[in-house]
Structure 1
Amino acid sequence: MKESSEPDLDRVDMRILRALHAEGRLTNAELATRVGVSPATCYRRTQRLFDEGHITGVRADVAPASVGLGALVMVGVMLDRSTPDSRYAFEEAVLKVKEVLDCILVAGEFDYFIKIRARDMADFNKLQGETLIALPGVRNTRTFFVMREVKENARLQF
């Protein structure tokens, strides 16, 4: 995907993106009708949007509690050094931790924030004690147990 503030997308591309972002289960025929193009044109454009990285995936949103992952935890991570090598080592290791949903590099008091789903507090405590503090370069962590999710995974507004 192009790295610029003005993507090279026309109105039809934007209508396709908005429609799929709102409802990823649309068939190609339904999508074509919604955006006002033929099914063949819609298919070609959608494939191009995938190929160029404008669409990065399509998935179902699963209710975490229904699969036994009712605890949401945010963890602020401070590394002992903030060098490219230490960040790389940390990032490569955190990619392998299946409980980590998101990991973002930030500016400020912490180096990273990670979002984790666990069964409960005891499950997270085990993960913290055995895995998180053992990640490369971790000096300190600060844990925030989420009491209520007010707004999560909101759709982009474009």
Structure 2
Amino acid sequence: MKDSSKGGLDRIDMKILRALHADGRLTNAELAARVDVSPATCHRRTRRLFDEGHITGVRAEVAPASVGLGALVMVGVMLDLSTPDSRSAFEKAVLKMKEVLDCILVAGEFDYFLKIRARDMADFNKLQGQTLIALPGVRNTRTFFVMREVKENAPLPF
């Protein structure tokens, strides 16, 4: 029976999502055993969860420092104008920046928050001076260097 509060997902769909969210490396056979369905049923359901956009991807979580990206920086961005056109131009430019991990439109003092990974403070300073302030419509930015990541990329609470 489908549960409309969960976007039309039933109990088995939710078990599959929880299991894969906890461990995306499960084989289909392991997943099927965990959710108590046949491998064929599990494969069909998992494929449907991908096709319908309930699962958006699977990837390894890489330790940033191990690839030379030890600095985590949060940047609050204020635009000159907050119109659909100005937001669109800003968002298109940000989508091209590999250093930006997340770009979030917010309400309040800032228009956007950017989560950025850099090698170090000097690397970020160069990015700030050459790229961030030149993004379309940017009036002002406020930078927050992360001292310690207490909780990051936690599993969804479902």
TM-score scaled to structure 2, two decimals? 0.97
Name the CA distance, whole Å, in 2 between partners of 1:6 and 1:107. Answer: 26
> Percent same amino acid among aligned pairs?
88
Matching of residues 98-137 of structure 1 within 5 Å: 98-137=98-137
Equivalent in the alignment of 1:152: 152
- Measured against aligned partners, the alpha-carbon deviations of 1:108-152 in whole angstroms (never above 9, x if no partner) come to 000000000000000000000000000000000000000000000
Equivalent in the alignment of 1:89: 89
Equivalent in the alignment of 1:43: 43
Name the CA distance, whole Å, in 1 between partners of 2:40 and 2:135. Answer: 49
Q: Does 1:72 align with 2:72?
A: yes
Name the CA distance, whole Å, in 2 between partners of 1:34 and 1:115. Answer: 35
Equivalent in the alignment of 2:33: 33
Deviates further, 4-13 or 145-154: 4-13
SS at match of 2:77: strand
Question: Against the structure 1 CA distance between its residues 151 and 125, is the aligned structure 2 distance closer, same or farther, given a 3 Å change threshold?
Answer: same
Name the CA distance, whole Å, in 2 between partners of 1:6 and 1:53. Answer: 13
1:6, distance to aligned residue in structure 2 (A): 3.7
- Measured against aligned partners, the alpha-carbon deviations of 1:25-62 in whole angstroms (never above 9, x if no partner) come to 00000000000000000000000000000000000000
SS at match of 2:115: strand
Unaligned runs of 5+ in 1: none
Give the aligned residue type for 1:96: K
Equivalent in the alignment of 1:19: 19
1:70, distance to aligned residue in structure 2 (A): 0.2
Equivalent in the alignment of 2:141: 141
1:157, distance to aligned residue in structure 2 (A): 1.2
Name the CA distance, whole Å, in 1 between partners of 2:157 and 2:25. Answer: 19
Name the CA distance, whole Å, in 2 between partners of 1:69 and 1:59. Answer: 18
Runs of 4+ with deviation above 2 angstroms: none
1:5, distance to aligned residue in structure 2 (A): 5.3
Give the aligned residue type for 2:19: A
Q: CA RMSD in A?
A: 0.9
Give the aligned residue type for 2:113: F
